[in-house]
């Protein structure tokens, strides 16, 4: 249960922060945000505010999404002959259209639809109360709502509030805002970790900080404050050098020269084999010593840690290009597994994991792949260079291809994760 809660909180917060970036800048740009959903799947609860945004809580407590008018979202399918009902205001303008069988309008007028235009002309026509002798046409209010088949009430989307009607720079910023929020979240979380630890790790030395209980290091007699001078006779002066040498020897005995209270000791130990992706590393269960730092240094560490994690992800992407393997990728199953490990290691580890995952999501979403934010940004830049946007048909085809490829990759990755972690 602790793992499940950790997974929901970590994954949910990261995705919601990402979507809030799109939501905030879309609102600022005059784009109608029709729905801001928390979770996925069937609706549990919904509320529509005065600006026309419907906030919904959905059954599966994982992530969320933002529906922006005209941004490739699926419109309610309304076809000739479809039975609907409409509600009028005192000026006989339609203020509500009901396409759902789950909802009944108290003052609704039954209408057999013949045609409609809810984008430009803002009209809807049909036979009233089954009278097919006359087609009645109503004007539709600019801020009218439509009740979808699942019972969710959202605003209609006239052209002036659609995504494509916003200025180019506003659309570009709206697309970039999601990943940007992930980077901001990562910086904040890394700062929180620095304050919780009381400082930042000293990566420029090999002095040991915390020794994990029941670890290889603890069993071998290593102590907090020990300084590692060499690994198997090879001198080390930074944490990364020592880490690299130890990780290169999983399940192989190595010798450490250690300085303790002015004396030099030789400690032999065998790093435990730890599998990450398709690679196996040696781990002994130690962390660097903390540097007593000022408030400014702790805040600065949030930025430096975010940059360092970003560089690590770019290096991983480079390895993925030169030597592709599904084991180098991870989906929801892998995230759940890592959430379990983080939950068992304490709150600081959970927050650090959330920060690293937030950086990962930000960078992955910026990849120039259709259907991702990065692909949309590329289209924005092409529009800026050409002076006109790519046709909606071509953009739709590109997005569909990109989405299909991503879904196919996700299926393969998820199945591979299930085989790796569950069998």
Active site residues: 19
What's the N-to-C CA distance of the chain in angstroms? Answer: 21
Instruction: Let me know the angle formed at the C-alpha of 165 by 100 and 88, rounded to the nearest 5 degrees.
Output: 35
CA distance linking residue 55 with residue 33, whole number of Å: 10
Main-chain phi, psi angles of 363, to 5 degrees: -70, -45
Q: Are 257 and 230 in contact (CB under 8 A)?
A: yes
Got the DSSP string for 239-286?
A: HHHHHHHHHT-TTS-EEEEEEETTEEEEEEE-PEEEEETTEEEEE--E
φ, ψ at 61 (rounded to 5°): -80, 55
Dig out the tokens for 220 from the structure.
Answer: 């071998």
Cα 182 → chain centroid: 7
Residue 20: which of 111, 189, 12 has the closest Cα?
12
- Distance from the Cα of residue 4 to its chain's centroid: 18
Residue 238 token pair:
């930074």
Q: How far is CA 332 from the centre of its chain?
A: 12
Phi, psi of 11 (to 5 degrees): -65, -40
Pairing of strands 254-260, 263-269: antiparallel
Given a contact cutoff of 8 angstroms between Cβ atoms, the answer to whether 186 and 303 are in contact is no
**Which DSSP letter does residue 81 get?**
T
Q: Strand, helix or coil at 7?
A: helix
Task: Give the residue among 196, 145, 194, 165 at the shortest CA–CA distance from 26.
Answer: 165
How far apart CA 307 and CA 305 sit, in angstroms, is: 5
**For helices 168-197 and 295-322, what crossing angle results, to 10°?**
120
State the greatest distance between any 2 C-alpha atoms of the chain, in Å, as a whole number.
103
């Amino acid at each position: 249960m602790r793992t499940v809660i950790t997974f929901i909180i970590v994954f949910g917060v990261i995705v919601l922060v990402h979507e809030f970036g799109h939501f905030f800048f879309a609102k600022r740009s005059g784009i109608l945000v029709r729905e801001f959903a928390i979770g996925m799947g069937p609706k549990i609860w919904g509320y529509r505010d005065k600006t026309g945004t419907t906030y919904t809580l959905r059954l599966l407590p994982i992530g969320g999404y933002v529906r922006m008018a005209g941004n490739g979202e699926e419109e309610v399918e309304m076809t000739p002959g479809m039975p609907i009902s409409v509600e009028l205001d005192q000026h006989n303008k339609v203020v509500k259209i009901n396409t759902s069988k789950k909802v009944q309008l108290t003052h609704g007028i039954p209408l057999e639809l013949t045609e409609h235009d809810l984008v430009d002309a803002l009209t809807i026509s049909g036979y009233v109360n089954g009278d097919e002798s006359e087609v009645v046409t109503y004007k539709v209010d600019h801020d009218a709502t439509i009740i979808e088949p699942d019972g969710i009430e959202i605003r209609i989307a006239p052209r002036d509030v659609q995504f494509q009607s916003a200025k180019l720079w506003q659309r570009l910023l709206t697309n970039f805002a999601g990943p940007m929020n992930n980077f901001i979240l990562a910086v904040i979380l890394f700062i929180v970790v620095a304050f919780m630890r009381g400082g930042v790790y000293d990566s420029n030395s090999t002095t040991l900080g915390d020794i994990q209980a029941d670890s290889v290091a603890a069993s071998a007699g290593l102590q907090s404050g020990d300084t590692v001078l060499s690994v198997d006779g090879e001198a080390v002066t930074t944490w990364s050098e020592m880490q690299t040498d130890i990780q290169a020897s999983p399940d192989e005995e190595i010798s450490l020269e250690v300085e303790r209270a002015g004396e030099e000791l030789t400690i032999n130990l065998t790093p435990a084999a730890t599998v990450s992706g398709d690679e196996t590393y040696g781990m002994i269960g130690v962390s660097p010593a903390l540097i007593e730092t000022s408030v400014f240094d702790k805040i600065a560490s949030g930025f430096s840690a975010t940059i360092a994690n970003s560089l690590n992800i770019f290096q991983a992407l480079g390895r993925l290009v030169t030597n592709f393997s599904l084991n180098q990728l991870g989906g929801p199953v892998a995230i759940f597994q890592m959430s379990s490990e983080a939950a068992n290691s304490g709150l600081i580890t959970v927050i650090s994991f959330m920060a690293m995952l937030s950086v990962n999501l930000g960078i992955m979403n910026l990849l120039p792949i259709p259907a991702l934010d990065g692909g949309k940004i590329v289209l924005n830049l092409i529009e800026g260079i050409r002076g006109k946007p790519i046709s909606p048909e071509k953009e739709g085809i590109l997005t569909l291809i990109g989405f299909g490829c991503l879904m196919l990759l996700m299926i393969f990755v998820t199945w591979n994760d299930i085989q790796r972690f569950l069998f």
